Amino acid sequence: MENNLKMVPAKCTQCGGVVEVDEAKKTAECPFCGMTFVIEDAVKDYNVSFNVNDAVKDVLDFAGEQMKENRQRRQEEKKEFESTQKNFFKVFLIIFAISCAFSLIMFVIMQFVPGAGDDTGETTATETADSTIDCYIKDGCLYTEVRGVNLAVWKYQAFDSMGITLQYEENSIDRDSYESCVTAEENVDEGVRYVVTAAYEDDFTTESTDPLYYSVVRVVIENSEIVEASEPAIVNSLSEYDFE
């Protein structure tokens, strides 16, 4: 009989201590508190307590897993949101940089490209009665058109950067219309300043031999562009007609 003893775990009904008992017997004595208890009750108590513990453990484990997963998911979502925020900020920075660069380029173009953003460079100098002086650059040529009632005079001067005269021409013509062209390709060089002065005689008393006055304009050309155009000046003699 001793060899066939079947020992099973049980729980003392008095103190709860876990003991091994012989299932074949009716009662046993607890080694912890000395209480004599019914084995059947003690075994049932052990199983119930064991199963409950197991179940609670399972539930707790499951809950723990869920919480862990939730935490991971929340962290991933947070990372994703932060990454989206960073990307949005990057895109914004890039767009802002491109806008700035474009504005700067446009500003530079407006500053340095001849003719951009301002007028065509043409200037109508003066107009009195039937007489006009008209200076403009067209297709690389400077045109000085003087249409005078009587005498028309024009001077063409070129200066280097030190102000030394490189070229000087003076013409006068007595006719209704006069037109001249200074060819930019041939004559306009880097660092050379060209000054064209043109005048017409205003003489409304046709019997008079001496003109009453002259209307004079001056145009300054640098790098094929009109950079300065004077308001028409009235002079009494052509000796006053020197702008330099």
Q: Return the closest-CA partner of residue 195 out of 157, 224, 167, 233.
A: 157
Q: What is the DSSP string of 78-91?
A: HHHHHHHHHHHHHH
Q: Which is nearer to Zn ion, 15 or 60 (CB)?
A: 15
x/- letters, 199..238, toward Zn ion (CB under 5 A):
----------------------------------------
Q: Which is nearer to Zn ion, 32 or 50 (CB)?
A: 32
x/- letters, 35..64, toward Zn ion (CB under 5 A):
x-----------------------------
Q: Which of residues 11-40 bind Zn ion (CB under 5 A)?
A: 12, 14-15, 17, 30, 32-33, 35
Q: Which is nearer to Zn ion, 21 or 220 (CB)?
A: 21
Q: Return the closest-CA partner of residue 150 out of 179, 178, 129, 176.
A: 176
Minimum Å gap between C-beta 54 and Zn ion is 23
SS3 for 62?
helix
- 186 backbone φψ class: left, alpha, beta (φ>0; ψ -120 to 50): alpha
Minimum Å gap between C-beta 49 and Zn ion is 14
Q: Which is nearer to Zn ion, 33 or 109 (CB)?
A: 33
Q: Return the closest-CA partner of residue 205 out of 125, 154, 126, 129.
A: 129
Query: With CB under 5 A, what is the number of residues at the site for Zn ion?
Result: 8
Q: Which is nearer to Zn ion, 32 or 102 (CB)?
A: 32
Cβ pair 13, 45 in contact under 8 A: yes
Return the H-helix or E-strand segment holding 46: helix 39-112
Q: Which residue number has the CB closest to Zn ion?
A: 30
Tokens 């107009």 belong to residue: 127
Minimum Å gap between C-beta 78 and Zn ion is 53
Footprint of Zn ion (CB under 5 A): 12, 14-15, 17, 30, 32-33, 35
